[in-house]
Structure 1
Amino acid sequence: MRTRVVIDPEVWPSVAAHLAETRAALEELLIALERRTTPDLVHDARAALRRAAVAEALIGTAPAPSVGRHGASPLTRLANQLASVRDLDVAATILPARPDLAAERTKRAERLPELARAARVCLPGPTSTPDTRRVVDLEALVRSWQRRARRAAQRPGMDELHALRRSARRLRLASELLAPIAPATSVRLRRRALALTTHLGRAHDLQIAALLLERSTRSTARLLARRATKLARGWQPLAVRTSTELDGWLCALSSRNSAPTILASTLVSGGADDTLLDVEP
């Protein structure tokens, strides 16, 4: 399917409104994170960071965030710390009788307010309205999905399945952003990608809990790992359906274009590197 999509000036206000809402929501969550670090807020802040990263990678109208002393932007450092805290929140939910997890969670969460302040300072500014048609290139997004689905099919380890989950999540967020151009297929793609990410997310959460328990309770860790492996086996039908909906979405988005096409469901090897901003380890 074609991967270059034209956003006409008459459609742009709807897309720009989505971008503005995304940025405002992220800024609001960062301000809240400076005052409290509850599990729900950590989860919401991570989701807002991912949504903003995908929007910026696709639209690319604002300057890239500055890089700090440690070679990563403040947004990336915040996202990494949020992921670390979130893993402990998940583990504590699965294993409530482990007070040591709560203590470790408190320790890791202490840095979040400082990181949230630094991230808020470097947020890109509002996206301007273009005078002409804007072209969005989806090739990196599609190639990432193809590459990671192929790797997961060949070697379905937890790392490969987690990478596939992240790629499917980007598809879902991109479909939300470009929904004004192809509403029906965007809804279907979002639904399929959400089913896949939810399925793989449950397996990933159990695996994280197993890893945290491995040193002290090996028998429980093995049980959780077996359950995670069993649950992860059902991902392939969901991935196939997601690829099918991706084909239809790309076709609908680019029906007015004449660029070369690629078919997502064929999982063609090779292609452009994934240039989307990664904010999650």
Structure 2
Amino acid sequence: MPRFAANLSLLYNDVDFLDRFAAAARDGFRAVEFLFPYAYAPAQLAALLQAHGLQQVLFNAPPGNWEAGERGIACIPGREAEFRNGMAQAVKYALTLGCPRIHVMAGLVPQGADASTVRNTYIANVRYAARLAARLAAPHGIHILLEPINGRDMPGFFLNRQDQAHALLAEIAEPNVKVQMDLYHCQIVEGDLATKIRQYLPTGNIAHFQIAGVPERHEPDVGELNYSYLFQLLDSLGWDGWIGCEYRPARGNAPHGTSDGLGWLKPWLQADVN
């Protein structure tokens, strides 16, 4: 059955980041994900995971200058050396945290850049990341994930659609490269989520799901999507991987705002225990 991971970059934002591990464990989460770990020593984060009985299931490779608006550099020509250094750092963290997945953000397409050059740069960088992860993390390996992101939230992002991601996957042709299917982004760009899930999940090329309500990106029981139906569909298709809860609590940073909004999750946590 689906298993849910708390995204500590968006949830529990009423407490400091390092305190969010304990908060997630108290609410019944068994796994966490977050955007970036690099502000903290890997051993410090690993100790928190162990102390609270949590599994790290996903984080992002270094995105370039996030504060300046960069959203990954994998598609940007001329940044290859920086990308490779960032991947070495990401794999080091993944090994210490026992994390089997790294999301490589594609990045914003540079204005005026040649489309074929951008695409070829992206493919070459992802191949490099995949081979590095396979070599350094042998024998078990680490999956490198591609995530389509909607252009409303992230204008100019290189990768937007599921069919685009799966076509790139075939061209990259590395066995440890998979797709991260965020149902929030997919609904905004394409819709028809149940059909997309039925189309792509049986291929074995999806390694992680993420969720949020549409359109406000709040809890999944707020908005236009029937997530209960989608969770049951995933269950019926045999999905037993992780679903990242990457949403912004409707109560913002109010005390206990994340916990108070988890009514939608309790039946699934109880079923997991039983």
Q: Which structure ranks higher in relative contact order (CA pairs < 8 Å, sequence separation ≥ 6)?
A: 1
Structure index of larger Rg: 1
Tell me the TM-score normalised to structure 2 length.
Answer: 0.28
Q: Of Structure 1 and Structure 2, which has the larger fraction of its residues in helix? A: 1
